[in-house]
A and B are shown apart, each in its own frame.
Chain A
Amino acid sequence: MSKARATIYGWLLLGPAFVLLAAFTHWPAIATLYHSFHSTARRNRPSVYVGLDNYQGMIDDPVFWQALINNFWYAVGTIPVSIGLALLMALWVNEKLAGRTWLRLAYFTPTVLPMIAVANIWLFFYTPDYGLFDQIRGLFGLRATNWLGEPGTVLGCLIVMTIWKEAGFFMIFYLAALQSMPPNLAEAAAIEGCGRWTFFRRVTFPLLMPTTLFVLVNAVIGAFRMVDHVVALTAGGPNNASMLLLVMIYDVAFRYWDVAYAATLTVVLLAILGTVALIQFVVLEKRIHYR
């Protein structure tokens, strides 16, 4: 085969993947960055270069800060707890116990359920007066609470629901990692007189670190990617108390049609996610043992 022919073959093989990646990933990313430096095109008013005006507008926007702070607390509230729970559940269902298949299935169910169905279930739980939580509280003579309607409780409600949904999903990764661990290690440790906690601390947990990093990165991305539940449950309200960054981007882009501002917010969101992922890799990479 001549060199030119080989080159053509090469490009033809590469082509489909390259076209898809460029059209749906690279081009939109560049376009977003481009739009963030231009004004939104309106009727009779084409898009023009505005420099950092959009970014200035963002910094002056109290809703942006509210969403950022909400998102921060949302991440802090969901990530450690759901990962910790996932690890605990995985350790538990990895033991030899009766009906563990059903237990694993039960833990994984929240992940399988459609997002809107999940939101509906929790909407019922949180309903004032006759919702599940208020009925239980009623048994103890406590008064009804509008869980999703109070700025003080709404973010907490979202956090609890997210933990419920994510922990089972992360558990699967931990369970897979635990099952690929040779049982000989535990036996060797048992002969040395190593207790369960010491074994976990010295052997199991360090060997699970690659999984933890993977789950952590996913959890962080998930925390900033949350939009569907919020739209179904609260639409960011009341008074922006449950407004998260992606919900805000959705609102700005598709309700107010302010494409330039939405692009600006997207760039910031991407920057945040990229930075966090980079920090995670740099900090944790050195302490992780890959098999």
Chain B
Amino acid sequence: MSDVVVEKLARHWGTTKALDGVSFKVEAGSFAVLLGPSGCGKSTLLRLIAGLESPTGGSIRIAGQDVTGLPPAKRGIAMVFQSYALFPHLSVAQNICFGLEVRHVDAAERKRRLERAAELLGLGKLLDRKPSQLSGGQQQRVALGRAIVAQAPVCLMDEPLSNLDAQLRHEMRLEIRELQRRLSMTMIYVTHDQVEAMTMADQVVLLRDGKIEQDAAPDALYAHPATIFAARFIGTPPMNVVDLDDEGRIADAPGGAGALGVRPEDIVVVPIETPGAVQARVESIEYLGADTLVAARKGAGRLVARVPGKAKIEAGAAIGLAWTQEAQHIFDNRTGRRVADPPA
């Protein structure tokens, strides 16, 4: 089992800072997700850990050993690429065993590992096929198989599910998580999909513009977002963030020192005369089946409430919105950072 420690890692291209002094630790045997919008540097970070690119500063340690200057093959890692990177002229079995052959693993051991991987991934009947004769999901499994037989303690995955359809993506999420637990690999997984991050990760490293925005467990990331960006990146629909005026009320005009964040599911719609309720006017209604999203305007802010079932509210109606003190997140608008947890 190997832990991965990244310290002050940087990758600059001229004045462009793809990655700017990133530090975090992934515990041995845990599942870490590098999450962020496109261009945030998450793929660069993964490629640096893999050794496919070299950093302009900082260090990477795997299992206590400094691997910053080592070639990819000497780092004890396996990697699954977004495009799978299968060799098109080799059969499934040859693809899976390619690395073992190159490393001169003897034939009996190769066969043993191949059989185990094929069984784990349900590839038994496909071993003689070429990648072009496989579906996207099957190709994905072959790529996983190649990573498994390497028996590397650390496995890196670069958006491995982004080329699959929604249904398959759901199945593979569970399967990859299950495999990672069963083989107790240390996993570093890159994605831009917050659902993948929330459902699979032990630890989410949220990146933005080459810097870490927040490094926390999924539940902590959801319950205590450290910044406005983190608050709005996680959750569907995202957290409502509205500007506050000097008295701490929702501002009538944009711009203000503070900002208030409330998750849609924490907002309840109440009669407009309810004491303490925020009075707002309904802008739109979105019926989703299990619940309804009610978007309402208050001053310069727009608040979305998630209401169970089909809400009997019309657009244009005046309603009251209420939430508990604990559901409030207060941010500093200039720094974008969380100020403090609301007083209980």
Contact = CB atoms under 8 A, between A and B. Distances in A.
Interface string B65-108: 00000011110011101010101110000000011001100000
Given A198-B102, A202-B98, A291-B132, A190 B73 contact: yes
Main SS at interface, chain A: helix
B6 interface: no
A204 to B, nearest CB: 10
24 contacts: A182-B85, A184-B83, A184-B85, A185-B87, A187-B72, A187-B79, A187-B81, A188-B79, A188-B85, A190-B71, A191-B50, A191-B73, A191-B78, A191-B79, A192-B73, A192-B103, A193-B73, A194-B98, A194-B102, A202-B87, A202-B98, A202-B102, A203-B87, A291-B88
Contacts of A206: 89
A185 B71 CA distance: 16
A289 interface: yes
Contact of A191 (B72, B83, B88, B89): B72
A193 B103 contact: yes
A188 B103 CA distance: 14
Contacts of B102: 189, 192-195, 198, 202
Interface of B: 50-52, 71-74, 77-79, 81, 83, 85, 87-89, 98-99, 102-103, 130, 132, 146, 150
Contacts of B78: 191
Interface residues on A, range: 10 to 19
Interface of A: 182, 184-185, 187-195, 198, 202-203, 206-207, 289, 291
Contact of B88 (A189, A202, A207): A207
Contact of A187 (B74, B85, B98, B146): B85
Contacts of A185: 85, 87
Contacts of A289: 88-89, 130
A187 B52 contact: yes
Most buried by A among B88, B132, B146: B88
Contacts of B52: 187, 190-191
Contacts of B89: 203, 206-207, 289
A192 B85 contact: no
A276 B130 CA distance: 30
A242 B39 CA distance: 63
Contacts of A207: 88-89
Contacts of B132: 291
Contacts of A192: 73, 98-99, 102-103, 150
A76 to B, nearest CB: 29
